[in-house]
Structures are given as C-alpha cells and as structure tokens.
Structure 1
Amino acid sequence: MRIVDRFTEIIDWYPKHMSKEERHLVFKIDWLVLSFTCISYFTKNLDVSALTNAYISGMKEDLNLGGNRLNYATSMYYVGYAIFQIPSNIVLTRLPAEYYLPAFEVMWGLFTLGTAFITSYQQLLIMRFFVGFTATACWVGNMHIVNSWYTRQELGKRNAIYGCVSPVGSMFAGYLQSAAYTHLRGVRGLAGWRWLFIICTIITIPCALIGVLFCPNVPDRTRSRWFTEREKQLCVDRLLKDGFAKTRGVDRTLFKRIFGNWRIYVFFVVANLYWLTPYPSGIPYTLWLKSNPQYSVPMVNNLATIAHGATIVSTMFFGFYSDWRKNRWEPICYGGILILVCNVLLLVWNVPNGAKFFAFIGLGVANGPTNLLMPWLAEFMSHDLEARSASIAIVNVGWVVVNCIVPIIAWPTVSAPRYRGGYIWSTTMAVIQIFFLPLPVMMERRERKRGIDFRRKVLEENGMASAGLEEKGSGVGDDQSFEEVGKTMNEKEVEVNAVAV
C-alpha cells in the first residue's frame, strides 16, 4: 500500500496536503462517481460509433447509403440529441440521478438494438433520431455529476478519466466491428454489421443497473447507501471551502443567472470553435483509409483506432498537466496550435501519406485538451449549481447544432477523401479559435479588478475565512479539519436562524 500511496502522491492524485480522512473520502467518490459515469459514457460512444464502423463494413451497400446519406443519418442523430439536452440537465437537478440516467440508458440501448433489424434508409433515420433523443441525458448529465463532486485541484484528472472513455468506446467499436465482420458475418442469416448493433445492446442495457446501484447524484442531494451521514456532510464541506456553492434551486431567476453574465456567451464561442476544428480525425480519416485499396475492411477498422489512441494519451497527459499548472487555457492553447498545423497540412493535401497520417493522428492528439473545456466552465460557474448544469447543456447544444449542419455543408461524403471545402473551413476556424482562447482569463481578470469574486462570495456566505482562497491546496487540508469547517458552517447557520427569528 505504501507504493500505491507514494505513486498517487507523485501523480498528485491525492495531494500531499490532503488528510487521511479526505483521501479515504475522495477514494470512495472516485469509485462511485467515475464507475457509473465512465461505463455509461462508454456504452453511449460504443453505440454511436457503431454507425461509422457499420457503414464501412457492409451497411452502405445493404441499405443503399450512397451520396450524403451517411451525413444525413449522422445529423438526424444530432437533431434528436439537441432537442432535449437543456431541459434534461435542468430536470436532472431536481430528479434522482440514480434512476433518471439509467432509465435513458436502457431506452437508447433498445433503439440501438432496433437498428440491427432495419431494412431501409428511412428506418435508419428514425432509429438514429431516437438513439440521439434518448442518449441526450448521458454526456451532459454525467458531465454535470462529475463536475459537482471535485475540487479545482482534482477536476482536470477526473475529467481526463471521463474524457478517455469517448475514444476508448470508439476504439472498442472498431475492434468489435472487425471481429463481427470476420467471425459473425452470415451467422443466423445476419450481416456482420447487424451483429455489431446487437452486441452493443447486450453490453449497454446491463450497465444501466450499475447506475441504480452506485450513482450518487450530487453532494448536497445524495442518498447513496455507500456514504455515511458524516461523509455526506464532508463532501459538501470540502466543496464549499473551494468555492463551489450548494444547490440554489430552479426558479424564475434561473434564466437571469445563466444569461445575466458573460460566461455562457464566451464559453459557448470558445468551446464550440475548439470542438469543431479536430473533426477530420474522425469520419474524414476513416474514409481516407477506406479510399486506399491496399487496406482491407478489418485493417481500415483497426487503423482508424490509432487517432482515438492518440486522444487517450493526450487526454490523460493534459488533464494531469492542467491540474499541476493550475490552469486550463494553457494546454487548450497548445492543442489549438497543433490543430492549425494539422489542418494546413491536410488543406495542402499533396503531401506524402506519412504527412497525412501525422496530420490525422495529430488532430487526435489535439482532441485531448477538449476535455478541459467543461471543467474550465464548471470552475467559472462554481457559484451556481443549477446554472452550471444548464450552461454545460447549452454549450454542448451549440456543438450538436453545428454538427448537424457543418458536416453536410463542409464535409459531404461525396467529397471524400479530399474534402477541400472542409479543410478550408477547419483551417479558418482554427485561426479564429486561437485568438478567442485567452478571452475567459482576460474577462475574469477584468471582473476581479471591479471587485467581483464569486468564489470569495461563496466562502463568505457560508461563514468561511476568505483567507482560504490563499491556501496552497484546494479542499480541506490537515491544517483545517472537517470538524472545524463543519463547526464554522453550523455557527453561521445559527446566526442566520437567529436573525430570521
């Protein structure tokens, strides 16, 4: 155990200042929060990625998906995905997450199963719409849960773990389709791509049970059997000390709390510009591989996973790096520069295949810092849990809407693999996003010069010493025990009650 403890200290998983009691608590939070959110997100990405893998493994020919029909099917998924996101994350702050999220997981699993038995392009569009509609609660809902349990010094690493699930799911779908194409093609009269959707469902639905058993909701609303009453209070205390406020409720003021400051507008632009630009590491990369006759279908499926593997390594590295550096924008800036270089290479196009591989995989690397955008937003919105949850959904809806439109206009399947218009678009957006990335930092500094500090306000409202802002670490350290924090808060509550009387 000493070796494990030493390793966690080296990687700063549990900072040195953290007490034994808090380490044990964070260890338990990791298992409960990350177990369900990661498994849920994995199954979602498995089901979503299945379409591209099925398309290059026989679905295109079986369902006559020529022209831009793959684009339209993908856009139909995003239409369903966008419609319910914002209401879903607002509802999630009121309903028990341990039942709400697994229920939607079961539903999207059933629609994924239905995709295995479709016989026409029209049926595919219907199924993709409902897969998107029922999957809407997954990413934004789980992102809200993950970013509601951890302090600033912990968010980058935990979001890296959660973010890695997306490329892992995509990689696994590629390997799964390769195996299904090779070993299950023709079994019981079904094509290999149909078996992929069946297997995805078999994996997805049982995973929903994990949510019912382990998902702890958010700290000040948790009813988890795995926390003692004392631990539930300690979870709230450590976040309050780091400036993360408790729930304020959903009322008429929510709209103003979301749209009444610059945060939602700036992050909407910054996040969506960044998310757009590494797009070629996905479908364009896969279709470029498919256009090379020397690669067989299984090899295309396998080679397509390299970019996802690069994203996994990059996500972990930049997640830890951002916590160590105590800022998010720096690694995002590095990723933005790499995106620009890779898109320029692909725009030129007449370069050796090795350079194209470098560009596609480099965009996979640049995908890693994208997982820091939401914890960055969560930190800026730490003073309001409900507004934070809704803001996460609003920013993501922007990405979804753009993904409904841009692939059809800039990345039509008929333009594969050259995609000249697409690379012009990505290169232009890459230049613009580099100029926008420092904007949140500049706006916050300007805000503080005017005396506005929401983190300090949360501390003061809960009777905590504002000096806590100057402590080396975030969270409760050895120099201030949980008992002392709880005592301070209880004294504050007594004062408020006395005034009310």
Structure 2
Amino acid sequence: MNSEKMKKQNDVDAADDFDSIAEEMPVNADFLGESYMAKEREIVRKLDMTLMPIIFLLYMFNYLDRNNIAQAKLDTFEEDLNLTGSDYSTAVSIVNVGYILMQLPNNMIITKIRPSLYLPFWVCVWSCVSAATAAAQNFGHLIAIRLILGVCEAPFFPGVFYLLSCWYTRKELALRYAFLYSGLILATAFSGLLAAGIFSGMENTLGLPAWRWLFIVEGGISLGLGVIALMLLPDLPTSLTGSGKWLFTAEERRITIDRMARDAVSNEEDDKSIRHGLWLAVTDVKLWVFALMMCSNQTSYGFNYFYPTIVEGFNLGTRTITLTCTAPPYIVAALISYGIAWSSDRRKERGFHITTPVLIAIIGFIISIATLNIPARYVASFLYVAGVFGANAVVFSWAASTLGATPQKKACAMAIMNLCGQLGNIWSPYFFHDSDSPRYARAMVLLLVFSALQAALCCLMKWLLARANKRLVQWGQTAGVEPNLYTL
C-alpha cells in the first residue's frame, strides 16, 4: 500500500517538474517556422548519435546470442551434446516459445516502467544465460537454457521498437528501423566471420571445444554493452529520466512532445490504461493483418538458422571458407535494406516497398528449387536473403505508425505482432530435413508460399488503409480540419 502511494506521489512530482519546465520555456513567434524545424533536426541528430548506435549494437548481439547455434552446428556441437534427428530443430524453435510467453506481458510492463532501466537489465540477464550454453552437457540442458534465453530476450525487440516509435515521427521511422534491423542482418553476416576466427584460434583453449568459447565470448560482449546502455537509453519524451534528462533542453523536450502529438493519425481515441490499450489493439483488424504479414515474413526466412549448412552443401572448401562465404549475402542485404527504407521514407510509401523485395525473394527461392548448379544457387541466396530482410524493416515501421493510437495500444500491438511472427520461427526450422540436403527443395517451396502470402497481405493492408483514409477525409471536412492520414 505504501509503495503504491509512493509511486503516485512520484508521478505527481514528475508531472509538476515537467509543467514547470514547460512554463519556463520561452515562446517562439515562429513556433512552426524555420527555427522550430531547426530544433527538430537537432533533436533527431541527438537521438541518432546516442539512442541509435547503442540499440543497434544491442540488437546485433541480441541476435548473435540467439543465432550462434547455427555456427556451433558446424563444430562438434551436435556430437558433444548427443543431438540426433530433429533435436537441433527443436533447440532452434524452443527459444521462440519463451518469446511468445513473455513478449506481450513485457510490453505492457514497459509502458509503466523506465525503459532505460528495464531494457538494459534484460540485456545483462540474457547475456549470462547465453554464455551458460557453454556449460550444456546434453539435449535437456540445451533445451532448458534456450527456453530461458527466449524468456529473457523477449522484452528487447518489441520494447526497442516501441521506444523508437515514441521518439521518431512516421516519416523518420522506416530508415531508423532499417538501421536497427540491419543489426540483425549484419549479426548474421559477421557471426560467420567471428565463428571462423574463434574456431581456428580457440579450439581446446583451457580444454574447451571452440563452440563453447563462441557462446562465452559473445555473451561477455553483450553483457558489457548492457551496462553501457544504462547511461545512453532515454525514457519516454514526457519523462525527466534516462539520457533525455541530460541530452535535451527543456525547450527540446517540449518540441519533442509537440511533434509526436502532431504526427499522430487524426481522430483516434486516447486512453492511458493498459487494459484499454490492449482492447484497442486486439479489436483493430489492421493489427491481425500486420500480425499475419509478420508471421509470413518470419517463416520465409526460416533458412537463416540453416544457411551455414546450406552453404556447406555447396562444397566451396574448408569450414573457414564456408563460414566466410555466409557473410556476403547478408552484407548486400543490409545495404539493400537501407536503400529500401530510405526510399520508403522519402516517398512516404510502404506497401510497394514491401512487395517488391518479397517478389525478389520469391525469384531466389524458385532458382534454388529449379537447379542444382552451385553458382546459380549461391546467387539465388543473395536474392532471397536480401528480399526477405529488405521487406522486414518496412513492415515494422508501417505497423508502428499505423497502430499507435496511444502508447499503450502501440506497445500491446507491437508485442502481439512480434509474438505472432515468432510462430513462423517455431515451425520453419522443421521445414529443413537432413534427407533433403543440400537442395532443401521442400523447405524452399514452403518459404516461397509464405513469401507470396506476405505480398498478398500487404496488398490487403493498402486497401484497408485507403478506405480508412477516405473516412478520415470525410471526418476532416465535417470537423473543418485537415486530418493526418495513414501512410500507404
């Protein structure tokens, strides 16, 4: 009871502090003129120099700590843990069960707690859990660790996307999401290079096989980044805590709040309760279309945990050469993702910037199915890696700007959307069977089907939002205002 009173008093004190700051801020005659826009650019620059680099690195290691099992598979990982049959696929899938269990509760919590403390805490916890994989001795140990890893990593991905959508406007989001998402792509690229270095230089160091050092080294680095994040992550724009306290002036905080309010889609309901935010999310048909779109996307890059094995099937040379050759497609994919996101922001268009790379991915899957020619299949992997990853960042930015009636709705919606996406990560590893290697034709057909489904859902979403915009225009004419419309 006392803790509840203290929390309410702290909320009142914070609100009073912010009100006093707002009152002291000088009023600009050109509030929406060049001076205002210059201050907006300075706010965005500060965010780009502090918030974006640290979450990029954290997201990179978030994925490294989860994906390094793919590189470990090329060492003595399966033999040392006595993995047989579908044991490896189960170990890949089980981490997503932890994701599904914890993502929605965590994103509901993050609206009531300081992100600058909450997210780094979980970074440090998952780093320790990931490093503990080095101590696994059998399949049971591995499954338990991977399940806990999923639970611990669950708050980060939707939490960071929610945090970004609270600081950046709709026209700024796609490029920032692409930058963040490229951390995942580059993590996959450099995980092979890092694994090659560890496998060649740390085998039997202190009597441990190289794959155990892979988990220890990467877990230790992400733990250090989690500590640094405590100093660099902001809380919400209305808060006087986190890095925003020293990063922004009182006037900049006021402008940040104003610009986010002006960026919101018009005529949307506002209610600050978590329960109501959840209700707004689950009753919005757009959320479920986005959720299916994300599930299709996550399913279509089911190749990710098997890509080193796919490249190994090309018989390009030694294990080091194989791991090195896994990097180029992901580096190209990162560059293409930047280009797609930049174009999407510049043109203020989302749907065609998703369907185009998805169609490119489909071409890559078709080539992989149609031929056993090694150069052709390696080139095809560039197409489906770049296509699948290129579409993903735009999907998230589109969803965040479309489903954000309130911060509570946005947090719940993004968690539900990502939760549904994890279903694709659960079942897609079972598409790949050792008997289908090296072609994996059955898996490629299934990935192609889900890519086509994603493109169809994207077209459906454009149609739904076009109808919603017509209603907003009619509302604006009645109310005598010019409404903000959904981005198509």
Give the TM-score normalised by structure 2: 0.86
Structure 2 CA distance for aligned equivalents of residues 452 and 411 of structure 1: 49
Does 1:445 pair with 2:463?
no
**Which of 263, 272, 293 in structure 2 is aligned with 1:249?**
272
**Residues 194-235 of structure 1: per-residue CA shift (max 9 Å, x gap):** 111111122011111222111112222352322222221111
The residue that corresponds to 1:277 in the other structure is 300
What is the deviation of 1:185?
0.7
CA distance 1:189–1:352, change in 2 (3 Å):
same
**Residues 247-267 of structure 1: per-residue CA shift (max 9 Å, x gap):** 842244233211222211111
CA distance 1:157–1:18, change in 2 (3 Å):
farther
**Residues 437-463 of structure 1: per-residue CA shift (max 9 Å, x gap):** 111121112123334789x79xx9xxx
Which runs of 5 or more structure 2 residues have no equivalent in the other structure?
1-33
CA distance 1:146–1:323, change in 2 (3 Å):
same
The residue that corresponds to 1:290 in the other structure is 312
Q: Which runs of 4+ in 1 moved over 6 A?
A: 244-247
Structure 2 CA distance for aligned equivalents of residues 390 and 251 of structure 1: 8
**Aligned sequence identity (%):** 21
Q: What SS does structure 1 have at the residue aligned with 2:168?
A: coil
RMSD, aligned α-carbons:
2.4
Contact map agreement 1:53 1:173 (CA 8 A) in 2: yes
The residue that corresponds to 1:197 in the other structure is 215
- Mean CA deviation greater in 423-432 or 103-112: 423-432
Contact map agreement 2:96 2:426 (CA 8 A) in 1: yes
CA distance 1:43–1:27, change in 2 (3 Å):
same
CA distance 1:374–1:155, change in 2 (3 Å):
same
The residue that corresponds to 2:6 in the other structure is none
Query: For this pair of structures, how many residues does the alignment match?
Result: 446
The residue that corresponds to 2:251 in the other structure is 230
Does 1:416 pair with 2:437?
yes
The residue that corresponds to 2:89 in the other structure is 71
What is the deviation of 1:399?
1.6
Q: What code does the residue aligned with 1:230 have? A: E
Structure 1 CA distance for aligned equivalents of residues 425 and 375 of structure 2: 28
CA distance 1:119–1:147, change in 2 (3 Å):
same
The residue that corresponds to 1:41 in the other structure is 59
- Mean CA deviation greater in 98-107 or 425-434: 425-434
The residue that corresponds to 2:361 in the other structure is 339
The residue that corresponds to 2:342 in the other structure is 320
The residue that corresponds to 1:261 in the other structure is 284
Q: What SS does structure 2 have at the residue aligned with 1:189?
A: coil
Alignment of 1:35-114 (within 5 A): 35-114=53-132
Contact map agreement 2:361 2:385 (CA 8 A) in 1: no
CA distance 1:155–1:62, change in 2 (3 Å):
same
The residue that corresponds to 1:383 in the other structure is 405
Contact map agreement 2:128 2:220 (CA 8 A) in 1: no
Structure 2 CA distance for aligned equivalents of residues 50 and 351 of structure 1: 28
The residue that corresponds to 1:364 in the other structure is 385
Q: What code does the residue aligned with 1:129 have? A: L
Give the TM-score normalised by structure 1: 0.84
- Mean CA deviation greater in 199-208 or 24-33: 24-33
CA distance 1:165–1:294, change in 2 (3 Å):
closer
Contact map agreement 1:339 1:362 (CA 8 A) in 2: yes
CA distance 1:20–1:267, change in 2 (3 Å):
same
Which runs of 5 or more structure 1 residues have no equivalent in the other structure?
1-15, 471-501
Contact map agreement 2:296 2:424 (CA 8 A) in 1: no
Contact map agreement 1:53 1:174 (CA 8 A) in 2: yes
